[in-house]
Amino acid sequence: MPIRHVLLAITVAALWGVNFIAIDVSLTTYPPLLLAALRFGLVAIPTVLFVRRPQVPWRWLIGYGVGFGVLQFGFLYWGMAAGMPTGLASLVLQSSAPFTVLLGAVFFRERLSGAQLVGIGVAVLGLAVVGWQRSEYAALLPFLLTLVAGLGWAIGNVCNRQARTAEPFRLMLWMTVIPPVPLVALSYLFEGRDGIADAITTAFTTEGLGPTAGLLFTVVIAVVAGSGIWTWLMSRHPASTVAPFSLLVPVFGMSSAWLVLGETVTTGELVGGVLVVGGVLLGTVRRLHTTGSFRHMRVVDES
């Protein structure tokens, strides 16, 4: 990947990391499945009305929407509502990176370098340490729900890649058309009509101002801007090259949670986080070639 694409990937990681604070605020009013439905529904409506569908097979568009939208955010929001700390959620969700690399290798025969394999191993070890710490000091269920969300993101990543579109931003917008209906149905089934009605009513009160602002931040910054850039990158590089940059999200997510929410982590969780982030660096950066200025820094694709 050229350095400008690397910087774009890091920018997306920063946007998605800070967005975990917005999600945490939104969950104080909106139940998790409804919140996930609104996240995509607010983009899907204008997309259907004004944006032409990209010329990609329906199977990859649906797979992208189900993986990235329904599975990732349905389980992520459920996990956070069930007690997963905001900063730690941003870390565990990055299980999507090793999941993506492995799915790409198994189903689409993307080649893996030795460094990528070692990086995956280090990241998985880090996640195992975090899971062990969760089971020691808190409920394990929120951790497992967030881990399933990471698998959903990985499914979305490989479907995005296989779509091979020349219109990545249109693909990202049309991906948002898939999740709202199943998420609303699941919300009605599990959260109930009264829970949905209460959330919508509260959203238009002073109490709901902050959570609604958090939802809008998520829609504009995380979905339209962040996912748009991410889709563009995934359309131009192998999934195994782009996906590991998502492991930088917890650097921003955990820092934001510490600064804004006062969240702390155990020593074991911190060690696990370092291993996870170290895994992406080991698996994607072969060498930084510097010859006097930052513009000569080069991150080499090893896939």
User: How many residues appear in the chain?
Assistant: 303
- 66 or 280: which carries more pLDDT confidence? 66
> Residue 286: pLDDT above 90?
no
Cα 46 to Cα 187: distance, rounded to the nearest angstrom: 22
Region 181-199: mean pLDDT is 96
Structure-block tokens of residue 19: 């967005």
Residue spans of alpha helices (H) in the chain: 3-26, 32-50, 58-64, 72-81, 86-92, 96-108, 114-137, 141-163, 168-175, 180-190, 192-203, 209-217, 228-234, 239-242, 249-256, 267-284
Q: pTM score, two decimals?
A: 0.84
Q: What is the pLDDT of residue 224?
A: 87
Cα 256 to Cα 81: distance, rounded to the nearest angstrom: 18
Sequence-separated (6 or more) residues with CB below 8 Å from residue 57 = 163
Sequence-separated (6 or more) residues with CB below 8 Å from residue 160 = 60, 64, 68, 171, 175, 231, 234, 235, 239
Q: What is the pLDDT of residue 301?
A: 35
Q: What is the pLDDT of residue 284?
A: 57
> Residue 6: pLDDT above 70?
yes
Radius of gyration of the chain from Cα atoms?
19
Region 92-120: mean pLDDT is 81
Phi, psi of 177 (to 5 degrees): -75, -25
Cα 244 to Cα 282: distance, rounded to the nearest angstrom: 10
- 37 or 227: which carries more pLDDT confidence? 37
The mean pLDDT value of the chain amounts to: 86
Q: What is the pLDDT of residue 303?
A: 31
Q: Which of 157, 152, 167 is CA-nearest to residue 56?
A: 167
Task: Give the DSSP H or E segment for 85.
Answer: none
> Residue 296: pLDDT above 50?
no
Any idea which of 64-68, 211-215, 265-269 has the lowest mean pLDDT?
265-269
Region 90-118: mean pLDDT is 81
